[in-house]
Structure 1
Amino acid sequence: MAKENLNDLRAFLVVARERSFTRAAAQLGLSRSALSHAMSALEARLGVRLLTRTTRSVSTTEAGARLLSTIGPRLSEIDQELESLSAMREKPAGTVRITAHDHAIVTVLWPRLLPLLQQYPDVNIEFSVDYALTDIAAGRFDAGVRSGDRVDKDMIAVCIAPALRMAIAASPAYLAGRSLPAVPDDLTRHRCINLRLPTHGGLYAWDLEKDGRAVNVRVNGQTVFNNTFLMLRAALDGMGLTYVPYDLVQPHIEQGRLVPVLQDWWPSFPGYHIYYANRRQISPALSLVIEALRYRPE
């Protein structure tokens, strides 16, 4: 098969999975018109329509769905073999793509991977901030980071951080003249800073726990973010109670800029884990990243 045809098949897979020429073009580094032209040319060569295009979305035809299910796994196998060949290089090199929560990147990944990048100039790392439980295979990521070690059976999870404690806090200015919440239900009578989850588009219910009793509280407020650090900023600016990792609010509490609330209900979750595909051999670059991030309790 001609090289350009193989590239067109790869492009078709991305369009079919993303269901959008715009998103697929951004991922492939192409213009939308160039990608659309390539797909039309592929359909013309094959003599069958693969994609149904509307003004709002793209979907596969029956033939397109068949091609997707047939060549998708095979191209993944080719990619894995090529990565295995590159792993035979003596000098670690290449790009490692990681999807992770912004808090994990700032507090764990970047501090530990910066020295690695300085030591190995031929290793590149691409970070993608995402709050969803990303399918790293579909997104063509080398690894992902999430809280806890529960991953699909074809994945390996490695602990990279200790348990993650969450906290609730607000500024003295917001709390002035208001009663402090004494029990979780009191949160519903306060202005809170919400987090919108990308997976289902809903607002995150605050998970709380005390003496083995777990509760979820759906809170309300004027502001909704999809970024932990902006939630913290809003709390510092007096916009209400925030629910973020304790390590972020700790220095502000110690310096009086924030006041802790419902401390005996603050929950802890399993620490961050990096997860990656269970393969016989991984690239030297990814291996270096995993070892640099591996959590080693003192």
Structure 2
Amino acid sequence: MSRANLNDLQAFVCVARTGSFTRAAAQLGVSQSALSHTIRGLEARLGIRLLTRTTRSVAPTEAGERLLATVAPRFDDIEAELAALSELRDKPAGTIRITTAEHAANQVLWPKLSPLLRDYPDVRIEISVDYGLTDIVADRFDAGVRLGDQVARDMIAVRIGPDLRMTVVGTADYFSRRPPPQTPHDLAAHDCINLRLPTYGGLLPWEFEKDGHRLNVRVEGQWTFNATQPRLRAALAGCGLAFVPEDMAQPHIDEGRLIPVLADWCPRFTGYHLYYPSRRQTSPAFALVVEALRHRECGRSASPTVTGRTTPA
């Protein structure tokens, strides 16, 4: 097959994976009209329709699905092998794309990877904050970050952070107006700052556990956000109680700006893991990223964990 036809097949794979001529054109660095012309030419040469186009979406036909399943893995293998050739270079180089949630990006990835980039100027890191539990293979990410119990079994998982703990916090001014809750049920009488994530749809319940008894509480309040930092800011402003990762709230607790409550109802649970496909050909740059992120307990045993938690946003 000629090189032009191989390029056309690669263009088809990109459109089929993204489900959009606009996004595929941006990834390939071509105009949308040129990409549409390429796909029409490929379909004409093959004598079969590969994509079904509507005003809102693009999806592979049955023939397109078959071609995608056959061709796409081979392009992935070729790209992986080309990336592996960077081992022959004196310095690791390349772009590593990671999808993660906001909390992990701020509390784990940034502090661990920023020193790495100072030492390796040819390595580039792209962090995509996304709460949709992205398919890293389909969306062409090198790796993703999730809580340990959320990683699929067919992935390689590397622990990159300690066990986590959520905490309920409010200001002294807020508690001067309402008594601190003694049990999660008392939250019904409080103004709570809610969280809504796209993967969940509705408002996320606050998850508690004590003496083996697990309790999900749906709270009410005037404020709802889709990320943690605004909820923490609202709590600091005295707008209500926030349920946030303890490591984010701790500096404010230490300085007396926030007061934690319900501590005996907030156990630790499995921390973040970097995960990637087991078939991935590891490049020197990727290996550096993995080692920089790898969690080390410094001689201390890990705390008991509780599985089944939702990802801190």
What's the TM-score, normalizing by structure 1?
Answer: 0.90
Report if the CA contact (8 A) 1:87-1:282 is conserved: no
Report if the CA contact (8 A) 1:148-1:269 is conserved: no
**What SS class does the counterpart of residue 134 from structure 1 fall into?**
coil
Query: Cα deviation per residue 1:70-123 (whole Å; 9 max; x = unaligned)?
Result: 212222222222223333434211111111122212222111211211111111
Report if the CA contact (8 A) 1:208-1:216 is conserved: yes
Residue 194 of structure 1 and its aligned partner are, at CA, apart by: 2.1
- Partners of 1:289 and 1:222 in 2: CA distance: 41
Structure 1 counterpart of 2:121: 121
Report if the CA contact (8 A) 2:164-2:245 is conserved: yes
When residues 78 and 154 of structure 1 are mapped into structure 2, their CA distance, relative to the original with a 3 A threshold, is: farther
- Partners of 2:5 and 2:220 in 1: CA distance: 52
Report if the CA contact (8 A) 1:98-1:141 is conserved: yes
Work out whether 1:55 is the aligned partner of 2:55.
yes
Structure 2 counterpart of 1:158: 158
When residues 177 and 148 of structure 1 are mapped into structure 2, their CA distance, relative to the original with a 3 A threshold, is: same
- Partners of 1:47 and 1:217 in 2: CA distance: 58
Name the aligned partner's letter for residue 43 of structure 1. E
Name the aligned partner's letter for residue 166 of structure 1. M
When residues 162 and 71 of structure 1 are mapped into structure 2, their CA distance, relative to the original with a 3 A threshold, is: same
When residues 180 and 63 of structure 1 are mapped into structure 2, their CA distance, relative to the original with a 3 A threshold, is: same
**What SS class does the counterpart of residue 45 from structure 2 fall into?**
helix
- Partners of 1:110 and 1:202 in 2: CA distance: 29
- Partners of 2:243 and 2:39 in 1: CA distance: 46
Residue 68 of structure 1 and its aligned partner are, at CA, apart by: 1.6
Name the aligned partner's letter for residue 108 of structure 2. V
Report if the CA contact (8 A) 1:13-1:72 is conserved: yes
Structure 2 counterpart of 1:86: 86
**What SS class does the counterpart of residue 264 from structure 1 fall into?**
helix
Residue 6 of structure 1 and its aligned partner are, at CA, apart by: 2.7
Work out whether 1:45 is the aligned partner of 2:45.
yes
Report if the CA contact (8 A) 1:149-1:157 is conserved: no
Name the aligned partner's letter for residue 128 of structure 1. S
When residues 146 and 280 of structure 1 are mapped into structure 2, their CA distance, relative to the original with a 3 A threshold, is: closer
When residues 160 and 62 of structure 1 are mapped into structure 2, their CA distance, relative to the original with a 3 A threshold, is: same
Name the aligned partner's letter for residue 137 of structure 2. A
Residue 42 of structure 1 and its aligned partner are, at CA, apart by: 2.7
Please say which of residues 30-39 and 164-173 is displaced more in the overlay.
Answer: 30-39
Structure 2 counterpart of 1:291: 291
- Partners of 2:17 and 2:203 in 1: CA distance: 26
Unaligned runs of 5+ in 2: 299-313
Structure 2 counterpart of 1:168: 168
Structure 2 counterpart of 1:69: 69
Please say which of residues 189-198 and 32-41 is displaced more in the overlay.
Answer: 32-41
When residues 2 and 196 of structure 1 are mapped into structure 2, their CA distance, relative to the original with a 3 A threshold, is: farther
Structure 1 counterpart of 2:187: 187
- Partners of 2:37 and 2:225 in 1: CA distance: 38
- Partners of 1:181 and 1:7 in 2: CA distance: 62
Report if the CA contact (8 A) 1:149-1:158 is conserved: no
Residue 137 of structure 1 and its aligned partner are, at CA, apart by: 1.1
Structure 2 counterpart of 1:107: 107
What's the TM-score, normalizing by structure 2?
Answer: 0.86
Residue 35 of structure 1 and its aligned partner are, at CA, apart by: 3.4
Name the aligned partner's letter for residue 12 of structure 1. F
Query: Cα deviation per residue 1:12-56 (whole Å; 9 max; x = unaligned)?
Result: 223223323334344444444443343333323333221111122
Query: Cα deviation per residue 1:207-261 (whole Å; 9 max; x = unaligned)?
Result: 1111222111222333332222122112222332211110111121222322212
- Partners of 2:26 and 2:169 in 1: CA distance: 39
Report if the CA contact (8 A) 1:100-1:146 is conserved: yes
Question: How much identity, in percent, do the aligned residues show?
Answer: 63
Report if the CA contact (8 A) 2:81-2:281 is conserved: no
- Partners of 2:201 and 2:25 in 1: CA distance: 24
Report if the CA contact (8 A) 1:207-1:214 is conserved: yes
- Partners of 2:177 and 2:88 in 1: CA distance: 66
Number of equivalences? 298
- Partners of 2:49 and 2:94 in 1: CA distance: 36
Q: Would you identify which runs of 4 or more consecutive aligned residues in structure 1 move more than 6 Å? A: none
Work out whether 1:148 is the aligned partner of 2:148.
yes
